[in-house]
Structure 1
């Protein structure tokens, strides 16, 4: 189920491959508790905005960033071309998963999530940027490319066939640098790589893959 997995401080994260659709109800979500040693899973209703909600397995908040502050629960973000981002603090049981699409990125969802973590005491936040539609493939109208780039400089790009595009991963990375957050790009273009679901490639039939974050009790083995 998981093709990339890493531990950082008291956080454990993974990016799933396209074999486990994370649109509930599904097999992928049901496998997460056993895979991560948690009791329950928290998801959100993603709407391409910048709202941050607290992860709650008893609710499905409308948000594009889910803040996790307790062990025993895994937080999940689902994507199919947008950028999945995981944030974790090395010194405290705090983290977040973020859905950074074109609109949410431009509206500041990354800054909102990092700010929410720091407001709760996070001091050493690190980020992981997951697979997403790359700038060589994510074609958009010229006006849209200029509009987004004006809000997030460095996002405008050019497709491999010479038309205007957006590199959302580059935009997210630029925002993280401005926030003094170190980041790791996990890599992979969802449009090019058939391991991943892609709305651009598959249309309405596309499923979702995603990222998972779980926190550990102090003293648990890393």
Structure 2
């Protein structure tokens, strides 16, 4: 299947791709195929080649406003917002969490966002910043879909890192199935979003466990080709 999961909500199409859609990152794996894979994905969405917007992601807490961004330039950041919901947004992951958001203003104008919530960005505040940017446009009734990523049973980290990061973030603390320290990015993301007044929808899927999904950590262990899946939010029609 080309999509791991997809749905329509409030006039938007939301989805997370699978390996069947191919690697969508230009910087890893079979990068020469990524441009063609992006073009096929855009066509599947009824978009022209290049209309689906990708970021140069760097594990930051930087949010890019798509309404102010030159569409032919690749912008650096780890979240997009579209203040009128008109921009087709993509975010890439392969163990980090893709988070898609919809909202509206009091007058009914829609807003959308897409965020890359890996460990560094999550700790640095990428989700708080994304919600704050939506609120800057008077967003209300924000809903977030947390997509597939490395689960708390698999995301092993050194004990020192675990202790440093989880001391004041208890939701982040986890243990692998084999009994070693781990981080639960999904639980921490949910806590952050809910604390910001955001309704959370959990889309199951562990990238490390599911062979249908790209996983950086699994590829390091197995030697399989690297790749990135994408979270997509775009207007319907």
TM-score (norm. length: structure 1): 0.91
Deviation at 1:140, TM superposition (A): 0.2
Say which SS state the counterpart of residue 145 (structure 2) adopts: strand
Name the SS for the 1:214 alignment partner.
strand
SS of residue matched to 2:189: helix
1:52 aligns with 2:59: no
Preserved CA contact (<8 Å) 1:11 1:89: no
Instruction: State how many pairs are aligned.
Output: 217
Deviations, residues 100-126 of structure 1 (Å, cap 9, x unaligned): 000100011001001101111211110
Native 8 Å contact 2:85 2:111 kept in 1: no
Q: Aligned-pair distance for 1:34?
A: 2.6
Q: Displacement, 1:67?
A: 1.1
- Decide which of 79, 89, 102 is 1:88's aligned counterpart: 102
Correspondent of 2:35 among 21, 26, 29: 26
Q: State how far apart, in whole Å, the 2-side matches of 1:180 and 1:71 are.
A: 20
Contact conserved, 1:2 with 1:14, CA < 8 A, in 2?
yes
Give every structure 1 segment of 4 or more consecutive aligned residues whose post-TM-superposition deviation is greater than 6 Å.
none
Unpaired segments of 5 or more residues in structure 2?
27-33
SS at match of 1:144: helix
Establish whether residue 183 from structure 1 lines up as the match of residue 200 from structure 2: yes
1:63 to 59, 73, 77: 77
Inter-partner Cα distance in structure 1 for 2:7 and 2:208: 24
Query: Is the CA contact (8 Å cut-off) linking 1:137 and 1:160 kept in structure 2?
Result: yes
2:45 to 36, 53, 60: 36
Q: Which sections of structure 1, spanning at least 5 residues, go unmatched?
A: none
Q: CA–CA distance in 2 between the matches of 1:7 and 1:89?
A: 14
Q: Contact conserved, 2:15 with 2:233, CA < 8 A, in 1?
A: yes
Structure 2 residue 117 is matched with structure 1 residue 100: yes
Aligned-pair Cα RMSD in Å: 1.8
Match of 1:172 among 177, 189, 197: 189
- In structure 2, what is the Cα distance between the partners aligned to 1:8 and 1:185? 15
Matches of 2:82 and 2:103 in 1, distance apart? Answer: 11
Give the SS at the match of 2:182.
strand
Q: CA deviation at 1:21?
A: 1.3
Q: 1:38 to 1:71 in 2, by over 3 A?
A: farther
2:213 equivalent in structure 1: 196
Write the deviation string for residues 9-28 of structure 1: whole angstroms up to 9, x where unpaired: 23221111122211143333
